Structure 1
Amino acid sequence: MARLTRSPATSVDEIRHAQARLAVDTPGEGFTEITAEAAAFLQEIGARTGVLTVLCRHTSASLTIQENADPDVRTDLLTALRGLAPRDFGWVHDTEGPDDMPAHVRTMLTDTSLSIPVSQGRMALGTWQGLYLVEHRARPHRREVVLAFTGATGHMT
Structure 2
Amino acid sequence: MKCPFCNQDNTRVVDSRPADDNSSIRRRRMCDECKRRFTTYEKVETIPLVVIKKDNSREEYDRSKIEAGVLRACYKRPIPVQKIKELVDNVETELFNREEREIESKVIGEIVMDKLKNLEAVAYVRFASVYREFKDVNTFMDELKKILN
TM over 0.5: no
Give the TM-score, by structure 2 length.
0.29
* Structure index of larger Rg: 2
Give the TM-score, by structure 1 length.
0.28
Please state which structure has a larger fraction of its residues in helix: 2
